[in-house]
Structure 1
Amino acid sequence: MQNENTTAPPKAQHRPLRQPFEARRGFTYYEVQVIYQDAGIKRTYPGVQYEALALELKGMIEPEVAPYPVRILWIAGQKEEAERFLRMESRVTDMIKSVRSADRPGHEFMARLGQFGPYEGYAPQNAQSENVARESEVAK
């Protein structure tokens, strides 16, 4: 007869229940991160699905933040986060594509994210917000 392991709590002596494979499904994506060593800050930009797009974004941002290092992180997301991620990723992908032709695409990208304060280059997102802006000007 073997002695029971008395050094561990009783629950630790039993095998854990296995999680069904379906519950472990998720997705992966890429984030670009700038490491500001002297301030101890890491600035992470919204994620994208494709490594090529992350490499492009890294290439845009590097000249703007030099000499600070820029790295690409490979992230695992949970299945429940996929829908929200895809909405944000669609916007970020569109933004990356729209700043490609700018003189300084990295600066333009960071400005659109509000890194330098309010961005002045955006038009209202829909007709309703444009009408509200006109009504408030008329009311003044």
Structure 2
Amino acid sequence: MPKADALFNTNRRCLLAGIIAAPIVAVLPATAAETVPVDAAFFAHYQKFNTVFRAVREMSRLPEPPANTPDGEAYEARFDALVSEECRLLSELAAMPAHTAQGQRIKAELILKLLPEHMTHSVIAEYDSNTQLVLSLARDLVRETAA
């Protein structure tokens, strides 16, 4: 599968899985951060995601070896494995509750970083109202936790 197709198809599935969980972040009460343990597991998982995310973006900028060669096939296999790992980690992050304002901000920042990237590859020419609402909520959470 060509690099662009793999990145697009996998990110689309990852983002849809993650975005469905996004509105849940906003309903946690402000006092939850005081009564719930720190998001240590969430933060560690986020660091893993960031490492893989950067590796995928870096590899996508590199020139590909010729297709249908041992080097080309090895390259594609490495890239596909990284993209699959990115998708898995993002889905797991979406399933993990963020109990602290910092964890919620991380989820909101991920939405703001990943959703527009996803939408540039979408067949939808402009953001629908659901997408606009998710982006608006993410911006609100980033602003709120920055204050």
Larger Rg: 1
Larger relative contact order (C-alpha < 8 A, sep ≥ 6)? 2
Q: TM-score, with normalisation over the residues of structure 1?
A: 0.26
The structure carrying a bigger strand percent of its residues is: 1
TM-score by length of 2: 0.25
